[in-house]
Amino acid sequence: MSCDDYAISVEGVGKCYHLYSHPSDRLKQFVLPRLASLAGMPLRRYYREFWALRNIGFQVRKGDQVGIVGRNGAGKSTLLQIICGTLAATEGSVQVNGRVAALLELGAGFNPELTGAENVFLNGAVLGLDRQHMEQRYERILSFADIGEFIGQPVKNYSSGMYMRLAFAVAAHVDPEILVVDEALSVGDEAFQRKCNLKIQSLREAGATVLFVSHSASHVIEVCNRALLIDKGQLVCEGEPKRIVSTYHRMIHAAARQDLEAEVDAAPVETIERGKEGDVVAPLASNDDEAFWDPGLVSTTAVDYPSLDCRILSPRLLARDGRKVNVLAGGGDYVYAYEVHFEAAAAAVRFGMMIRTMRGLDLGGGVSTPAGSSHDFFVRGSVVEVRFRFHAAMEAGVYFLNAGVVTILGDEEKYLARIVDAVMFRVLAKRDSLVTGMVDFGISPSIALQKAAD
């Protein structure tokens, strides 16, 4: 396959940064080695090297959709900047065939002193389109960005969401042959993210090449036909997205278990067996597919709604043997449990739970009694433990659990207590899975040859 068949070709790329211990070392490095060279003295370095990338090589064929996954600090964003030409590589080469539209960071390519309208034409010129071509696209860009009269204001006055709207609108309407996105869409609201994803899909269907960094495993599996895994500045593996994402999950979970091992080794004996709240901590898994507790996987978006003399406490996920877990094996059975403290008497009560995706989509849930029925009267001071057993039928990804207590007030059902995003958990990819999408419906394929070719 010739180089012209590739949209992007990366060969032996590396990026090295010079790290200085003191500000004065920069001046020393600039002056003293030159003097030492003139005097014939041995050269000395006043910095240490940090290789953000080293010996990266891969090719992206025209029309491919390639996702790059890896932990924070792995070098993903640095690689995209080098591919787009906004950062020079220390070694190696990059060849790009086609017009590139890039969303690397918020507001990149915008002049903050110019208005949104002026930046539209400025970005078009940078991408090789003259004013006449941009005028033909201008109304479509404004309609997509939907920022109203702010298009005439300097972009330094824009919110992060407005920045993102305008930047993506320009990038998506300049007929890019290669679209490069660095997790930028996470800034917009859910409706705008949906609109962006539909636009990216239309670009892909038109034959554009898409290269993007994402922390959403389900997104990579859903839209990509190839994936790359980068760790500590090096390309670990590349190939079919589901296999790469599965490798990525096992890698970060192995790191989490190593961190937990270090905590266990350093802890007094009496703190090893139980967590801070008395929950049994999962033992270190000997199998990559076994559920375990990752102390770093904690919801930071939980919302505890104002209650009506009722509190939900200690929401948690449990394995069948009672261990507290938050990394689940796909296809396993688990228990979602929480306690309800009634600070006032309550009647006609029902308890509920809901599983949500990272993007806020309700996948499914359950209630403790059918509609039209309820539990007995609870007196003040009652403490109830609620448990919901469920099957982890979701595909690999990160999910959230909600908890709720409702009662009948007047003629309608009202929340006594509610927590959204109470528990964050991850589902591991199942090996050799035939499932596509987000949920495993237990589909069993059957193929039968009806007639052989003559």
Dist CA 127 CA 429 (whole Å): 39
pLDDT in tens, 129-155: 888 888 898 999 998 888 888 899 998
Q: What's the token pair of residue 428? A: 């591991």
Whole-number percent of the chain with pLDDT over 90: 27
- Name the more confident of 437 and 188: 437
For position 331, which CATH number holds? 2.70.50.60
Average pLDDT, the chain: 81
Choice among 37-51, 351-365, 391-405 with the minimum mean pLDDT: 37-51
User: By the 8 A CB rule, do 299 and 403 touch?
Assistant: no
Give pLDDT, residue 260. Answer: 45
My answer on whether 162 and 304 are in the same domain is no
Q: Is the pLDDT of residue 25 over 60?
A: yes
What is the percent of the chain where pLDDT is above 70? 84
pLDDT tens sequence across 246-266: 788 777 666 555 554 454 454
363 and 420 together in one domain: yes
Residues 99 and 191 in one domain: yes
- pLDDT tens sequence across 55-100: 999 999 988 989 998 888 889 889 988 998 888 999 999 999 988 8
Q: Where are the beta strands (DSSP E) in 293-436?
A: 303-304, 310-318, 327-329, 333-342, 350-357, 362-367, 383-391, 397-409, 412-428
What is residue 90's three-state secondary structure?
coil
Task: Examine residue 251 and state whether it is found in any structural domain, yes or no.
Answer: no
Full domain range(s) for residue 344: 289-428
Whether residue 85 is found in the same domain as residue 215:
yes
CATH assignment at residue 59: 3.40.50.300
Q: Which of 246, 275, 298 is the last residue of a domain?
A: 246
Q: What is the tens place of the pLDDT at every residue in 94-125? A: 999 988 877 776 555 688 889 989 989 988 88
Predicted pLDDT of residue 312: 95
- Both 152 and 29 in one domain: the answer is yes
Asked whether residue 54 falls in the same domain as residue 180, the answer is yes
**Which pLDDT tens digit goes with each residue over 162-196?**
887 888 888 888 878 888 887 655 555 556 766 77
User: Each residue of 294-314: pLDDT tens digit?
Assistant: 887 888 778 888 888 999 999
Query: Please, which residues have CB within 8 angstroms of residue 453's CB and are 6 or more apart in sequence?
Result: none
Identify whether residues 310 and 396 lie together within a single domain: yes
Give a yes or no: residue 133 inside a domain.
yes
| 138 lies in some domain | yes
- Please check whether residue 380 lies inside any domain of the structure: yes
If asked whether residues 233 and 294 sit together in one domain, one would say no
Using one digit for the tens of pLDDT, what is the confidence trace for 363-397? 899 999 887 778 878 999 999 999 999 999 988 88
Separation CA 169–CA 176 (nearest Å): 12
Q: Examine the domain organization and report whether 324 and 185 are in the same domain.
A: no
> Does 426 have pLDDT greater than 80?
yes
Q: Looking at the predicted structure, is the pLDDT value of residue 46 above 60?
A: yes
Question: Using 50, 70 and 90 to split pLDDT, how confident is the model at 284?
Answer: very low
Phi/psi for 26 (5° steps) reads: -65, -45
What is the total count of domains within the chain? Answer: 2
Q: Note the pLDDT of residue 371.
A: 76
**Domain presence at residue 434:** no
